[in-house]
Amino acid sequence: MNKIKKTKILNYYSIIIVLSTLIGCNQKKIESLEWVKTIGSAYFDECYDISVDELGNTYFTGVFSDEIKGQQIKSNGALDIVIGKLNKFGDIEWIKSFGGKKDDEAYCIVTDKKNVYVSGYFSEEITTCDKKFNSIGAGDAFLLKLSKSGEEIAFHVFGSKGQDEAVTLQITDKNEVLVGGFFELELEGFPQIKSNGGVDAFIAKLGTDDEILEIKNFGGKGNDKFFCNKKTENKTSIFAGSTFCDSTQKKIIG
């Protein structure tokens, strides 16, 4: 595919959120669409994750470029982070954007009774919680905490001199937050967290007061990454991803 054709296709991308009523659990038949909402610019926009709270409000996050139509939000670089809230009727309650001159992306969003948590990575710089943060390397992993009304409460950075991304999120039964992803070299501010190879997976646990309670890395001599997680019925957490080793590496993890 040549560049001209690819650009024309990207111009039609937008964020689409659909709320439908399902009947027949086995058949997954759609009875009716309650509402459909499109949010986007004239260029490239994607919704990566959504979360629905106990009142039926929908929170979404992803990336956008250029300007989101009707919202007076413009990107500072090629891709910026977008976070928003829709009420149970599909009406926009609020939309916020974050990002610098380079690409910034948000992958996950979760909610509890009071707060909204978003994770991803930022490149070069990002301004939130009335402060400018500069990335240590090519990209730093982050965890952003907001109120359900969109107020920015706390921002945590997990960064090294390489590329770092936070791609999983989970809220425990104790309202602690687990954030997972991957990093290179050594995480700034955590001298005990050094990669064993090119890239290591990591999990960080934050308490209800936004303090970092624990952080661990997992990896061998190759590249190891977490991409997804799941909370089980017995209140344990499972994180999954990928690991790499060549024929000279006998041990992968541990």
Name the CA dihedral angle for 130, 132, 133, 137, rounded to a multiple of 10 degrees: 160
The pLDDT score that the predictor gives to residue 34 is 87
The pLDDT score that the predictor gives to residue 21 is 54
The pLDDT score that the predictor gives to residue 146 is 98
The pLDDT score that the predictor gives to residue 252 is 43
3-state secondary structure of 130: coil
Full pLDDT tens readout for the chain, 254 residues: 433 333 333 344 555 666 665 555 565 666 778 889 888 888 889 999 999 999 999 999 999 998 888 888 888 878 999 999 999 999 999 999 999 989 999 999 999 999 999 999 999 999 999 999 999 999 999 999 999 999 999 999 999 999 999 999 999 989 999 999 999 999 998 988 999 888 999 999 999 999 999 999 998 888 999 888 888 877 788 888 888 765 444 444 44
CB 194: neighbour CB atoms within 10 A? 14
Instruction: Quote the CA–CA distance of 104 and 196 in Å, as a whole number.
Output: 26
Instruction: Quote the CA–CA distance of 221 and 162 in Å, as a whole number.
Output: 16
The pLDDT score that the predictor gives to residue 6 is 34
The pLDDT score that the predictor gives to residue 185 is 92
User: What are the chain's domains?
Assistant: 3-237 (2.120.10)
The pLDDT score that the predictor gives to residue 237 is 85
Instruction: Quote the CA–CA distance of 95 and 103 in Å, as a whole number.
Output: 19
Residue 51 — φ and ψ, nearest 5°? Answer: -145, 140
The pLDDT score that the predictor gives to residue 236 is 82
The pLDDT score that the predictor gives to residue 7 is 32
The pLDDT score that the predictor gives to residue 114 is 94
The pLDDT score that the predictor gives to residue 211 is 94
The model carries a pTM of 0.85
Instruction: Quote the CA–CA distance of 184 and 249 in Å, as a whole number.
Output: 19
Residue 158 — φ and ψ, nearest 5°? Answer: -120, 95
- Residues β-bridged to residue 51: 59
